[in-house]
Amino acid sequence: MNKTKKLKTIFQNSKIVKTCDIKKLDFSNDEIAKLCNDGVITRIKHGYYSLSDEFVSDEQVISTLLPDVILCLETALFYHGYSDYAPKEWNVAVPRTFSRTKLNFDSLFIKPKFIQNELFEIGKTKIQINGFELNIYDKERTICDCFKYKNQIDSEIFNKAINAYIADNNKNLANLSAYSKQMRVYKKVAEIMEVLLNG
């Protein structure tokens, strides 16, 4: 079996492979660079590759290489059905201590939000997207984030999200209240929610 065929076998178990696994097949750095230039493999980020003729989704990259991040803000709004706007970037929450270099990708656009450690896990849940399980903030945490970062969100997206939440029969106002107190946005949330719920 030649080296190129051997190379393809290591991608059978995982579509994303580390440089060190390729080097175990006796490929040098120069040979790996040539494989990229020849279109045999594609660099996902420093140290990670996929086969160029195999589709690797953003969701798979996040699930495999960023398993601890949490989808948030505009991305979470979209997947909760509170926004029609599909973000071009993946909004992800990470702890403040998270290494920024882990977020550098060649073709995956990540927009990180660095969160205080004590607030990071609030409202964390799971979602299946295109066959991959990712972390996402639940609806209530996402709405609280909208208030917390209101000046960073398009006003039309904000207003649509709040109205969509109000209309959601599965909303959990008890959690919304609890989260907003922990995140110190209770007054802002309560004022608008009271008007809309009683309006």
The answer on 39 and 91 residing in a single domain is: no
The confidence score (pLDDT) of residue 192 equals 86
Residue 1, pLDDT > 60, answer no
Q: Are residues 148 and 98 in the same domain?
A: yes
CB 82 within 8 A of CB 71: no
User: Is this prediction's pTM over 0.85?
Assistant: yes
For all residues of the chain together, what is the average pLDDT? 94
Same domain, 47 and 64: no
User: What would the mean pLDDT of 152-160 be, rounded to a whole number?
Assistant: 96
The domain tally of the chain equals 2
Do residues 1 and 8 touch, judged by C-beta distance below 8 A? no
What's the pLDDT tens digit per position in 59-73? 999 999 999 999 999
Same domain for 42 and 64? Answer: no
For 148, the domain range is 60-198
Residue ending a domain, among 18, 41, 56, is 56
Same-domain status, 46 and 68: no
Q: Are 118 and 35 in contact (CB under 8 A)?
A: no
Instruction: Using the predicted structure, report yes or no on whether residue 199 has a pLDDT greater than 70.
Output: no
DSSP state of 131: T
